[in-house]
Amino acid sequence: MSALRTVAEDYLAIRRTLGFKLKDHGRLVLQFVDYLEDVGATSITTEQALAWLRLRTTASPFRQRQRLAAVREFARYVQSIDTQTEVPSKALLPIRLQRRAPYLYSEDEIAQLMAAARSIESPLHAATFETLIGLLAVTGMRLGEALGLDRPDVDLTAQLIVVRCGKFNKPRQVPIHPSTTKALRAYSQLRDRLCPRPKCASFFVSSRRGRLSQSRVHAAFARLRDQTGLRTTHGSRPPRLHDLRHTFVLRTLLNWYQAGMDVQAQLPLLSTYLGHVDPKSTYWYFQAAPELLALAAERLEYAWESQP
């Protein structure tokens, strides 16, 4: 094992103890170390970073930026140990990153997706996907958080969900509406009847009696999306499961504005509910929907006109 590989493994281990999952980042760092070992390099230089980036000529500009960011973060760590290490400049790939606007589902579209899930041939599979889509839509939970739920995490008596595996491993509690509780209870009863001997304690179970994987869920959702006729709009990517989270946030903010509530005061509560580490992540939604910007502008205009 080379010295750089040892340093890379220590670097990833330290960051993971801090709560970072680093699935893609870790893979990129180790791929970069593979390259350095192949060319016989013993330290990191800008020239080597550029040479590694050129290996993937077909990669999108966004992906190349991700690859460069992984090298930069790793190089900054190595530089604290080896002062000869060069940290590649961000200017090597002067690409302005933009977050694509999320797809905003209508209530009818969500109902169509759940109806499509009910038509799945396997009763357990059908109930699982219908309930999962409904839960994501009404709570704004991340898919990984929902799939990571175990049965004790869903307290139907207290009408509370405990998210143990949130982003950066930050746990939180998610209160749920009585109608959501009723739907989860119905699913639990059906699940236990159709799957009396599950392989694990997962709340949502697969047709193989185990925990659902994200890859299988995304594949199944793509089929449901096509079945309901949902298509890409305005050149954006196709609607995703994660857009249910965006839809929940946007609808919540719109409802607050339309009800005349003090949105600024409510935002920290929404950030906590969503598990956002930084409230800035919640503020981003204001630029994601024209309706929000229009209502915010209207509120601001009214405030100015009301001043003496």
CB 208 within 8 A of CB 103: no
Q: Which amino acid is at 11?
A: Y
Annotation says 242 is catalytic: yes
15 annotated active-site:
no
Question: Parallel, antiparallel, or unpaired: how do β-strands 160-163 and 154-155 relate?
Answer: antiparallel
- Measured CA to CA, the distance from residue 177 to residue 248 in angstroms comes to 14
φ, ψ of residue 267 in degrees (nearest 5): -55, -45
Beta bridge partners of 163: 172
The end-to-end CA distance of the chain, in Å, is 73
Pick the catalytic residue: 167, 211, 225, 246?
167
Residue 120: helix, strand or coil by DSSP?
coil
SS3 18: coil
Q: Read out DSSP for 170-201?
A: --EEEE--HHHHHHHHHHHHHHHHH-SS-SS-
Q: Check 67, 211, 225, 245 and give the catalytic one.
A: 245
Which of 142, 191, 211, 225 is an active site residue? Answer: 142
Q: How far is CA 20 from the centre of its chain?
A: 14
Clarify whether 276 is annotated catalytic: yes
Distance of CA 247 to the CA centre of its chain: 13
Residue 285 falls in the annotated catalytic set: yes
Q: Reply yes or no on whether 167 is catalytic.
A: yes
Q: Which two tokens stand for residue 300?
A: 């601001």
**Is residue 77 annotated as part of the catalytic site, yes or no?**
no
Catalytic residue among 25, 35, 242, 257: 242
Extract the runs of DSSP E, i.e. beta strands, from the chain: 154-155, 160-163, 172-175
Q: Tokens standing for 176?
A: 């749920």
| Cβ atoms of residues 233 and 101 within 8 Å | no
What are the backbone angles phi and psi of residue 82, rounded to the nearest 5°?
-125, 105
Active-site residue set: 142, 167, 242, 245, 276, 285
